[in-house]
């Protein structure tokens, strides 16, 4: 029963299956694309959410570290701290300082507060065990001694396993002189508390981690057993350095040996360092081997990195539920489509196609009278009409094919007879053409046909007749050319011999005249050299005169400039005296400000706690007054030096004026002497110029003679060259005439 609907035997079954397959693929594709887009949107939203949490965590840590450092800087500006470091041996000052740092430790919850001198040694501390300790080798202490408030790396204390973080600020006295440092040590609990705020913030299982640039976990509240352990094994050089420093106390070696292997985390840190970007996203396993999405951000104030990690399944549960519901709807729709499609195909396609198959089978077996009963206008009806028309055309084509077959046999016989006649004519024409090619122009073709082959034979006969006439004309022309070429060759040979003799005579004459010209030119060069020397001496004399006059004018200009400089220096000296008066006034104002600041500090001390802030202001005013007074002293010293230099410059300019006047007198006497020398040189130069002019005229006349002889020689050479060319042309013409006679002799005319 079901064999009729087998896809191998039923077109309708195949169409049903194709239609359902296309619909199923389209619906599944739409479902998958929708699921993919939903996952992609969730992924983008996840990244944005965890990046926001990481940014909030970074800002919390930056705020905490900035507040701690700011409080230490304010603590370093307390007057009691400044007084204690100014006089470290004063017992009363040390007692007041100890009271202040004890109060600060209790108020802010510090682990320890210490005061260090300018050598980096602890002079006062809430931790009595570190008094007198030299801490100058620590990085944060060196930064503080250089005047920069600094934070330390997380590390243990010397001789202790207690891990902490140091904040260091410089303490300045009057005139901004460095008095020492304030060193505050805190534990890691505040950092852990800030990092722990992100636990489960982005969903169940989400948490944050704080790492340094080596990948060491500085805070990981969700996994305290991983604290201080590297995320990936450290390079050998880094591990050796940390062990040598005992960075985390006596257990440093064992702590570093407990490194995990989070390669994706190390790669993200490297990418941040390489690209200097604000964040990097990466995927990897979280605690308990749970897959998740993570983001890492750098801190600005320290080389630390904040990582926020979220399990992936927290964000894909809704998408998975939507996908399952969409797949269920797809299956229901496919089943409904199968039932409807089968019913429609059976009514509209299967029965008409079976009738069409039966009719086609009958026609294929030879029953050309069989036709399809058409009673519908759809594609099946059009197919039946076209099949009936095809059967009618097939009957007509069979009849026409039988008639065409008999006509083709008749034409084939006529074509064979014409081909034989054509082959015989072509063979005869081929023999005739070969004879003409070999030089036999005496034969002619016997044309017996009137068609294209007859016209070709007549054309060949006319061609041979034209060749015969042309050959006779060429023979007569070759004989005439040979006779004329012989006569031309004899005449050009005789003319070439005469031209050669003329060239030899002209060459000898030219050599004789060239020798006479060389002798005359030498005389001219001697005369010209004497005249040029006289002219050079005359120019030098005139230039000397001009130089002397310019020197006199320059000395006058120098004298004027020196006098102007002296006047300017005198004016500068008067202005420096006025500036000295102003600096005296500024110094008096600074003394009064210093006294006012001292009184304000005394009043602030009397006011107790209420006057602390006013004491800081008074201290700043006093420091400003001290700097102003020091600046006036420097200005007064500079003005004194300027006045001394001005007096020396005035004396030098007066001496220069006297020297300029003496030089002007000496230059005037030298100018008179050069004028007399120039007059004598000019008289001798005129005589030498006349001698050189006569010699130059003689050389000019000989040059004209030489040019004339050279022109004659060139004309003779050109005549000889032309004669040689004519001789070669006559010889070539003779050779061509001989070759033409030999070529024409190859054709037989009679």
For the chain, what's the residue count? 750
Q: 217: which strand partners? A: 211
Tens digits of per-residue pLDDT, 597-625? 556 665 666 666 666 665 666 666 666 66
Tens digits of per-residue pLDDT, 322-363? 667 767 777 777 777 777 776 766 666 666 767 777 777 777
Name which of 4-13, 301-310, 488-497 the model is least confident about.
4-13
pLDDT at 605: 61
On average, the pLDDT of the chain sits at 75
Rounded Cα distance between 24 and 29, Å, is 8
* Listed ranges 298-307, 417-426, 482-491, 524-533; the one with the highest mean pLDDT: 298-307
Name which of 100-104, 577-581, 592-596 the model is least confident about.
592-596
pTM: 0.43
Do residues 212 and 197 touch, judged by C-beta distance below 8 A? no
Residue 29 pLDDT level (bands cut at 50, 70, 90): confident
Token duo for residue 658: 């006297």
pLDDT surpasses 50 at 1 = no
Residue 412's φ and ψ, nearest 5 degrees, are -65, -40
Token duo for residue 549: 């006059």
Beta carbons within 10 angstroms of residue 5's beta carbon: 15
Rounded Cα distance between 348 and 407, Å, is 49
pLDDT at 216: 93
pLDDT surpasses 80 at 228 = yes
CA distance to 171, 610, 611, 682, per residue, from 605 (Å) = 20, 9, 7, 102
Which residues make Cβ contacts (< 8 Å) with residue 570, sequence separation at least 6? 646, 650
Tens digits of per-residue pLDDT, 643-689? 666 666 666 566 666 666 666 676 667 667 666 766 666 666 666 66
Rounded Cα distance between 730 and 62, Å, is 110
In terms of CATH architecture, what is 50-314? 2-Layer Sandwich (3.30)
Tens digits of per-residue pLDDT, 256-311? 998 888 888 899 999 998 998 899 998 888 766 788 889 999 999 999 999 998 88
Tens digits of per-residue pLDDT, 150-185? 999 999 888 788 899 999 999 998 888 999 999 999
Rounded Cα distance between 269 and 77, Å, is 38
Rounded Cα distance between 171 and 123, Å, is 14
Beta carbons within 10 angstroms of residue 165's beta carbon: 22
Rounded Cα distance between 666 and 669, Å, is 5
Beta carbons within 10 angstroms of residue 129's beta carbon: 11
| Degrees, nearest 5: CA angle 295-299-304 | 85
Rounded Cα distance between 688 and 693, Å, is 9
Name which of 9-13, 145-149, 175-179, 371-375 the model is least confident about.
9-13
What average pLDDT score do residues 556-571 get?
67
| 611-619 contacts, C-beta under 8 A, 24 or more apart | 612/78, 612/79, 615/79, 616/77, 616/79, 619/77, 619/79, 619/82
Helix (H, G, I), strand (E, B) or coil at 430: helix
pLDDT surpasses 80 at 443 = no
What average pLDDT score do residues 715-733 get?
68
Token duo for residue 542: 């005139």
Q: Which of 627, 590, 587 is nearest to 174 (CA)?
A: 627
Helix (H, G, I), strand (E, B) or coil at 746: coil
Token duo for residue 195: 């990092």
| Degrees, nearest 5: CA angle 468-470-474 | 120
Tens digits of per-residue pLDDT, 234-259? 999 999 999 998 889 888 999 999 88
pLDDT at 115: 94
Do residues 632 and 587 touch, judged by C-beta distance below 8 A? yes
* Listed ranges 23-37, 235-249, 621-635; the one with the highest mean pLDDT: 235-249
pLDDT at 571: 66
Residue with tokens 């420096």: 576
- CA–chain centroid gap for 505, Å, is 77
Do residues 652 and 512 touch, judged by C-beta distance below 8 A? no
Could you write out the DSSP letters of every residue in 264-322? HHHHHHHHHHHH--S-EEEEEE-GGG-EEEEEEEE-SSSSEEEEEEEETHHHHHHHHHH
Q: Which of 584, 583, 559 is nearest to 653 (CA)?
A: 559
Token duo for residue 594: 């210093």
CATH number of 465-746: 1.10.287.950
Which residues make Cβ contacts (< 8 Å) with residue 541, sequence separation at least 6? 674, 677, 678, 681, 682
Rounded Cα distance between 629 and 650, Å, is 32
pLDDT at 727: 66
The pLDDT > 70 percentage for the chain reads 55
Burial of 611 from C-beta contacts in 10 A (0-12 / 13-18 / 19+): middle
Q: Which of 252, 257, 198, 211 is nearest to 233 (CA)?
A: 257
Do residues 279 and 51 touch, judged by C-beta distance below 8 A? yes
User: Which 8-state DSSP code applies to residue 170?
Assistant: E
Percentages helix, strand, coil for the chain (3-state, rounded to 5) are: 75, 10, 15
Give the residue extent of every domain in the chain: 50-314, 465-746
E strand spans, 365-437: none
């Amino acid at each position: 029963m079901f064999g009729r609907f087998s896809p191998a035997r039923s077109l309708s079954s195949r169409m049903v299956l194709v239609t359902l397959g296309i619909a199923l693929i389209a619906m599944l594709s739409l479902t998958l694309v929708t699921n993919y887009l939903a996952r992609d949107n969730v992924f983008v939203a996840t990244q944005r959410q965890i990046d926001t949490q990481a940014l909030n965590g970074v800002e919390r840590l930056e705020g905490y570290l900035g507040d701690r450092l700011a409080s230490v800087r304010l603590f370093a500006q307390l007057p009691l701290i400044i007084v204690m470091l100014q006089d470290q041996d004063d017992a009363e000052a040390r007692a007041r300082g100890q009271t202040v740092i004890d109060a600060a430790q209790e108020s802010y919850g510090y682990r320890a507060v210490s005061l260090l001198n300018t050598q980096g040694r602890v002079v006062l501390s809430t931790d009595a065990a570190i008094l007198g300790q030299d801490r100058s080798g620590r990085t944060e202490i060196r930064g503080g001694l250089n005047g920069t408030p600094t934070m330390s790396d997380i590390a243990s204390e010397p001789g202790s396993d207690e891990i902490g973080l140091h904040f260091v600020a410089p303490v300045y006295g009057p005139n901004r002189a460095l008095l020492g440092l304030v060193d505050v040590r805190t534990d890691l609990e505040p950092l852990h508390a800030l990092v722990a705020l992100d636990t489960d913030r982005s969903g169940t299982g989400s948490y944050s981690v704080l790492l340094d640039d080596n990948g060491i976990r500085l805070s990981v509240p969700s996994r305290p057993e991983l604290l201080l352990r590297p995320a990936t094994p450290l390079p050998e050089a880094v591990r050796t350095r940390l062990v040598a420093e005992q960075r985390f106390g006596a257990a440093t070696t064992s702590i570093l040996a407990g490194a995990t292997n989070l390669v994706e985390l190390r790669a993200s840190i490297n990418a941040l360092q390489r690209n200097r970007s604000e964040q990097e996203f990466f995927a990897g396993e979280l605690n308990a081997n749970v897959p998740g999405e993570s983001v890492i951000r750098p801190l600005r104030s320290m080389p630390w990195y904040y990582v926020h990690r979220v399990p992936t399944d927290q964000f894909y549960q809704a998408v998975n539920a939507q996908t399952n519901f969409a797949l269920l709807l797809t299956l229901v729709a496919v089943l409904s489509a199968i039932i409807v499609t089968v019913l429609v195909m059976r009514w509209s396609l299967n029965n008409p196609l079976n009738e069409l198959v039966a009719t086609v089978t009958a026609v294929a077996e030879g029953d050309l009278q069989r036709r399809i009963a058409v009673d519908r206008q759809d594609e099946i009806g059009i197919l039946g009409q076209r099949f009936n028309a095809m059967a009618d055309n097939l009957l007509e084509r069979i009849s026409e094919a039988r008639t065409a077959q008999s006509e083709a046999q008749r034409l084939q016989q006529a074509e064979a007879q014409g081909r034989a006649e054509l082959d015989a004519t072509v063979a005869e024409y081929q023999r005739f053409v070969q004879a003409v090619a070999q030089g036999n122009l005496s034969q002619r073709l016997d044309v017996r046909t009137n068609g294209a082959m007859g016209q070709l034979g007549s054309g060949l006969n006319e061609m041979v007749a034209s060749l015969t006439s042309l050959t006779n004309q060429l023979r007569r022309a070759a004989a005439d050319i040979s006779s004329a070429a012989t006569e031309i060759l004899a005449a050009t040979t005789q003319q070439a011999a005469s031209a050669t003799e003329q060239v030899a005579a002209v060459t000898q004459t030219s050599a004789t005249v060239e020798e006479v010209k060389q002798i005359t030119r030498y005389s001219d060069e001697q005369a010209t050299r004497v005249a040029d020397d006289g002219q050079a001496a005359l120019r030098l004399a005139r230039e000397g005169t001009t130089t002397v006059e310019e020197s006199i004018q320059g000395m006058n200009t120098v004298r004027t400039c020196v006098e102007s400089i002296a006047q300017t220096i005198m004016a500068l000296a008067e202005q420096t005296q006025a500036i000295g008066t102003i600096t005296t006034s500024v110094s008096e104002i600074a003394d009064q400000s210093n006294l006012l600041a001292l009184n304000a500090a005394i009043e602030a001390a009397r006011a107790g706690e209420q006057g602390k802030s006013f004491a800081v202001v008074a201290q700043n005013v006093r420091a400003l007054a001290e700097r102003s007074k020091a600046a006036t002293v420097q200005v007064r010293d500079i003005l004194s030096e300027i006045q001394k230099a001005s007096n020396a410059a005035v004396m030098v300019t007066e001496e220069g004026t006297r020297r300029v006047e003496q030089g002007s007198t000496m230059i005037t006497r030298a100018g008179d002497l050069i004028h007399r020398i120039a007059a004598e040189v000019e008289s001798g130069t005129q005589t030498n110029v006349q001698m050189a002019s006569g010699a130059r005229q003689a050389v000019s006349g000989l040059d004209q003679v030489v040019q004339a002889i050279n022109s004659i020689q060139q004309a003779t050479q050109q005549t000889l060259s032309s004669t040689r060319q004519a001789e070669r042309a006559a010889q070539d013409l003779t050779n061509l005439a001989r070759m033409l006679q030999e070529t024409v002799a190859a054709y037989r005319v009679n």
